[in-house]
Structure 1
Amino acid sequence: MQSHEFFIEDDTAPADGWGAARPTFDTDLMAQLARGPLPGDDDLATAISLARLTHQEYQAFGTNGSQQWTDEDSRIALRALRLVLDRHGIEFRPPWRDFESFRSHWIAVGASGTGGWQARRDILAEWFGPVLETLEEAEEKGFRAELAQPISPRTKTGWERVDDEIDQLRLRFRSAATTQDYKDVGNRCVGVLEALSATVYDPAKHCPEGMAEPPVDKTDIRIGGYLDERLPGKSNEELRGLTKKASALAHKVKHSPSADRTRAGIAADAVILLANMLRRLAE
């Protein structure tokens, strides 16, 4: 979840200085997050968003009074964040529980008066900085480890459309939790294949004379034509077979009434590795 999803738009709420209604902090959602991960949600990404928002709100309270939360909101959010972080093995026990107790803390440690706003920023950075760094490192490791990585030292294919589709596939797989989610992973796999089809196929080289150019979704034909041109003869039979099998598996997961994490992950691994194999052929 992103930070804005922690708020409820309410047209009846009091307006801000620009005449727009202030969104209401969703304390019911905080209670749900405190109890456990939400179905279909990326709990790690949500932890990062909540940690950033909490840091932001406490900093606003401690420096210029521009916070959106009430004191009660600050208590509920801090408790939810502590429990969400516990799920990820991160201990977070700041010496305050809400805005008012944060004020008492900064007064007690001499962070009031002249220069106090910077001292209060430093206090918050000391507590939230390591938490955010740990969460972001975990997220980066997740991106690298959830699905297959190429043996090539290159982290991207360099084909912008293909890389965008692969990034979206990785994100979708990380947050998938239900059959519908895993079917959508299959759909994202098909998206990678179609991006490859659009990238590697050149009608001037790969379309037989007298035939119409096949549409982008005919991935077997288009990628197969590319392979014929790059590796002519029998030597490309195995690669063509890999293309067809990766495509068949992606479509099977996309339409499966019982798609699960194992099959969706295998399909995703297959298309990611295929993308990197085709990129190697282009060099």
Structure 2
Amino acid sequence: MRTEEFWVQVEEPLSTGPWGTATITVTKINEELMRQLDQGALPDDDDLQTALYLTRFVHDEFKNHATNGHEVCISDEVSRDLLKTLRRVLNRHEITLNPPWRDLSSFASYWRSEGMIDAGSWEKRRGHLDEVFGPVYEEIDRLEEQAFQDELAEGVSPHKQLGWPEVDGYVDQLRQRFRSAGSPADYKDVGNRCVGVLEALSRVVYDPDVHCPAGQDVPPTEKTNIRIGAYVDQRLPGQANKTLRVTVKNTSALAHSLKHSEKSNRTSTGIAADSVILLAHMLRRLREDA
């Protein structure tokens, strides 16, 4: 998400006359976007990055008020709503923001009560804002570094992509969702992305003419354990390959259990996602050796 998305341009009536209503284009806070952010992380969005951009945005609006006062572009009500939304976004990542004011006017009252009204006091007001928002930036930086260190597994193949466009797309979505996940609901959604990868894999490797026994119905795509299992059984037969076949079936079971789990955490979710990605590389290697 980009900072400019926090604004939206709307047409408002300016005057009405015999030739109709004249309008003017006005820039306002994107209230619909703020409402969506209030409710939870946006689909396919890096919620931690959004938290950073929204923190900068709110910080800048209050900094503008601390410096220019009467030239601010937002109202008290909007400033209250922005702070409320920012706190909810930050809370999703267990980051606390509790300034000693709740909107622009209470911020002004605060700086007057603290004696930030003499010549050059705007520097003190901006310094106070840095003290309020500084710890938030530091915590976001820490979480971004942790997310980088917690990055999901890469295959040992020299190729960055599997070469199956649909599967590669689902893997990319899985990586992105894992980066922004921070709650049990987020981790369940990561489970959904894991299953999405498996279903894409089953569409690629499963051939009904080869893997479906005569007289039986072709299993639907969501039966990934059956479809991928049939492919692996055909490619890796015999006792010597039993461990590999069991690994494939367990990976599918793990992903599906994550999708329905209410108690997943970042560690268990990362393990399941790693397993699915490595399974994708394993199947790609089997295809290459066919």
TM tier, smaller: 0.5 to 0.7
Relative to structure 1, the CA distance from residue 10 to residue 155 in structure 2 (aligned partners, 3 Å threshold; closer, same or farther) is same
Match of 2:213 among 208, 214, 217: 208
Relative to structure 1, the CA distance from residue 241 to residue 50 in structure 2 (aligned partners, 3 Å threshold; closer, same or farther) is same
- Say yes or no: does 1:232 pair with 2:237: yes
Structure 2 CA distance for aligned equivalents of residues 265 and 73 of structure 1 = 43
For 1:1-283, list aligned pairs within 5 A. 1-3=1-3, 5-7=5-7, 22-25=26-29, 42-44=47-49, 46-47=51-52, 72=72, 83=134, 85-87=137-139, 146-283=151-288
One-letter identity of the residue aligned with 1:274:
L
Please, which runs of 5 or more residues in structure 1 have no aligned partner?
Answer: 55-69, 91-137
One-letter identity of the residue aligned with 2:254:
L
Q: CA deviation at 1:232?
A: 2.5
Query: For residues 61-106 of structure 1, what are the alpha-carbon distances to aligned partners after superposition, in whole Å with 9 as ceiling and x for unaligned?
Result: xxxxxxxxx96369x99979x846544559xxxxxxxxxxxxxxxx
Structure 2 CA distance for aligned equivalents of residues 249 and 169 of structure 1 = 15
Please, which runs of 5 or more residues in structure 2 have no aligned partner?
Answer: 15-21, 60-69, 83-125
Structure 1 CA distance for aligned equivalents of residues 50 and 5 of structure 2 = 12
Name 2:65's counterpart in structure 1: none
CA RMSD, aligned part only? 4.3
Q: CA deviation at 1:179?
A: 0.9
Structure 1 CA distance for aligned equivalents of residues 71 and 287 of structure 2 = 59
Structure 1 CA distance for aligned equivalents of residues 230 and 155 of structure 2 = 23
Structure richer in strand, relative to its length: 2
Contact 1:186-1:251 at 8 Å conserved across structures: yes
Q: CA deviation at 1:228?
A: 2.2
One-letter identity of the residue aligned with 1:251:
H
Structure 2 CA distance for aligned equivalents of residues 72 and 205 of structure 1 = 68
Relative to structure 1, the CA distance from residue 89 to residue 186 in structure 2 (aligned partners, 3 Å threshold; closer, same or farther) is closer
Structure 2 CA distance for aligned equivalents of residues 43 and 208 of structure 1 = 48
Query: Once the two structures are aligned, what percentage of the paired residues are identical?
Result: 47
Structure 2 CA distance for aligned equivalents of residues 156 and 143 of structure 1 = 19
Matched residue SS, 1:244: helix
TM-score for the superposition, normalised by structure 1 = 0.60
Name 1:98's counterpart in structure 2: none
Contact 1:13-1:23 at 8 Å conserved across structures: no
Structure 2 CA distance for aligned equivalents of residues 272 and 46 of structure 1 = 28
